[in-house]
Structure 1
Amino acid sequence: MSRNPILNAALNAALSKVGAGDRIAVIAARFPAPEGVEVIDLALCDGVPSFKTTFELLMSQLDIDQITRTEELEKADSEAKSYIESLAEAKGAKMEALTYRQFKILAKSARFAVRIGEAEVQASVVLREREV
């Protein structure tokens, strides 16, 4: 039996294919799906699953070297911004902030996207797997 804490089969399959330099988008429920990117939809209702839970699980399964968020997150949810930055620091990952428009463009380069139940559109990030 697998000890992996992630039970979603589609998410596990996608994670098993992540390679060095690949990007994974974690997008809020109301964030527009990146065109041409597979979306693994975990959203059940507002807040389920939460950004924090999903972010922590992905960070525990991946070796992330960069986290990109929107500049607007600071105004929309400063607590989430601080939380993301603290996990980035703990993992030794660089932080990058882009405008919402730039972020939407970056999300299109993701290997896949994980849609969560977070209602705040700005609570979306792009994670980059460490390059060896």
Structure 2
Amino acid sequence: MKKSTLLNSDVTYLVSTLGHTDEITICDAGLPIPDQVTRIDLALTHGVPSFIDTVRVILSETQIEGVVMAEEFARVSPELHQELLKELELEQARSGKTISTEYISHEEFKQQTQQSRAVVRTGECTPYANVIFQSGVVF
């Protein structure tokens, strides 16, 4: 049995095959997922798994160099947005690498998900709880 934090085989495969600048999206239960993008559906029920728990596990296994969020996230769901920023700060401290942050409109965000290698759907029901992670390198 796998010993590290990430146990889901689809997410493990995704993380292990990411290259520099590849993008993955972690989303709430309501974000539309483009047909041509791989869907990894973790949602079991409202709030399970949560967006922030999923983010923590992905960050524990993946080197991130950039983050894209919808502008609406900070305005409409400020508490969860702040939790995400705190996790990103912790990751920067752990890795010693800077993580750039970009805000775009929700409509632009939905368009950009089309470039993701996969979209990981959580059970989160907080509005705009979505993030695109851009993969970095560990060296």
TM-score range, shorter chain: over 0.9
Give % identity: 29
The residue number in structure 2 matching 1:86 is 86
Is the partner of 1:104 in helix, strand or coil?
Answer: helix
Alignment counterpart, residue 134 of structure 2, candidates 100, 125, 128: 128
Is the partner of 1:12 in helix, strand or coil?
Answer: helix
Equivalent-residue separation in structure 2 for 1:43 and 1:118 (angstroms): 8
Q: Deviations over 1:43-83 (max 9, x none)?
A: 00110000110000001111101111110011221111112
Alignment counterpart, residue 124 of structure 2, candidates 105, 113, 118: 118
8 A Cα contact 1:73 1:122, kept in partner: yes
Runs of 4+ aligned structure 1 residues displaced above 4 Å come to: none
Is the partner of 1:118 in helix, strand or coil?
Answer: coil
Which 5+ residue runs of structure 2 have no aligned equivalent? 93-97
How many residues are aligned here?
132
Normalising by structure 1, what TM-score? Answer: 0.93
The residue number in structure 1 matching 2:33 is 33
Normalising by structure 2, what TM-score? Answer: 0.88
Of residues 33-42 and 82-91 in structure 1, the stretch that sits farther from structure 2 once superposed is 82-91
1:33 to partner: Cα distance = 0.8
Instruction: Please report the RMSD computed on the Cα atoms of aligned residues, expressed in angstroms.
Output: 1.4
8 A Cα contact 1:48 1:117, kept in partner: yes
8 A Cα contact 2:5 2:60, kept in partner: no
Q: Which has the higher helix share?
A: 2
Q: Deviations over 1:14-55 (max 9, x none)?
A: 211111111000011111012310000000011000011000
Equivalent-residue separation in structure 2 for 1:74 and 1:93 (angstroms): 18
The answer to whether the aligner puts 1:66 opposite 2:72 as a matched pair is: no
Which 5+ residue runs of structure 1 have no aligned equivalent? none
The residue number in structure 1 matching 2:109 is 103
Counterpart AA for 1:125:
V
8 A Cα contact 2:21 2:135, kept in partner: yes
The residue number in structure 2 matching 1:23 is 23
Equivalent-residue separation in structure 1 for 2:31 and 2:63 (angstroms): 25
